[in-house]
Amino acid sequence: MKDILQMNEIVELVRMVTNMYAHGWDERNGGNVSVLLDESELGQYLDLSKVIRTIPTGFEAPELEGKCFLVTGTGKYFKNVQYDPAKNLGIVRVADKGRTAELLWGLTDGGKFTSEFPAHMMSHIARLKEDPKNRVILHCHPNNLLAMTFVHSLDEKEFTRTLWQMCTECVLVFPEGVNVLPWMVCGTNEIGMAPAEKMKTARLVVWAQHGIYGAGRDMDETFGLIETAEKAAEVYLKIAHLPWKQTITDEDMHQIEKRFNVKAREGYLN
């Protein structure tokens, strides 16, 4: 068997969560990540017939039965992942119509997957229906997007248009826009359904006074989506109280659409 700590997904996840902590996006044990793995590739690193223990999920997800995920652990600090990946991460296989998850590797201190696991699984189901190549769901607490939800309208069209106007690349990077949720108590299956529903029409879902969910085909794409939206929110907060003498117009964004062959969300541009 190959050394599992050299598996690309683990190497990339360790790098990403370390970077996210350095950005200030994942204070304490805030934030969580799940990555859909290729079973044939995973079999080069693990004996998939050996189940360490079975963990109840508290929900059902028959669409994901048999699929394997690399996940961050509940209560784990992202700053510690680089020093002990096997303690802070886990690889699980969804079983029993999603009611349980079989631990195949990691969580060596007896821990379990993130408490947001149901929300992640629901979001994976939603994104896979829209894009069968989707692999990553990432939740974090970016400072500027979080602050923006206190001072900006939470109307999705208005929120999206403001972000698009801040940086030229925004309409190019997330042309489908950003969906927005009001503040809600986290950690329940019912609440987990809310970002999953929003994931049907966008890869970015802002949760007011909480954080953001991002989805993508790999970790670079997903991190980059959030990074771009966060940069736009930072620019907005620096200029929101000042008189604007110019901005990126709808006509400018139509030119971007034409130049880069992208299509902004229907009805969001004049």
- Alpha helices (H) in 138-188, listed in sequence order: 143-151, 156-166, 170-173
Other CB atoms within 10 Å distance of the CB of residue 12: 17
CA distance 64 to 60: 9
- Alpha helices (H) in 152-240, listed in sequence order: 156-166, 170-173, 189-198, 219-239
- Catalytic residue numbers read 116
What is this structure's pTM? 0.95
- Domains in the chain, please, with CATH? 26-115 (3.40.225.10), 116-270 (3.40.225.10)
Q: List per-residue pLDDT tens for the chain, 270 residues long.
A: 899 999 999 999 999 999 999 999 999 999 999 999 999 999 999 999 999 999 999 889 999 999 999 999 999 999 999 999 999 999 999 999 999 999 999 999 999 998 889 889 999 999 999 999 999 999 999 999 999 999 999 999 999 999 999 999 999 999 999 999 999 887 666 677 888 999 999 999 999 999 999 999 999 999 999 999 999 999 999 999 999 999 999 999 999 999 999 999 999 999
Exposed / middle / buried, residue 254 (Cβ in 10 Å: 0-12, 13-18, 19+) = middle
Residue pair 33/74 in contact (Cβ under 8 Å)? The answer is no
Residue pair 186/210 in contact (Cβ under 8 Å)? The answer is yes
**DSSP 8-state assignment for residue 29:** T
In the sheet where 53-56 sits, what is the strand order? 53-56, 100-106, 89-95, 68-72, 32-37, 136-140, 211-216, 204-207, 179-181
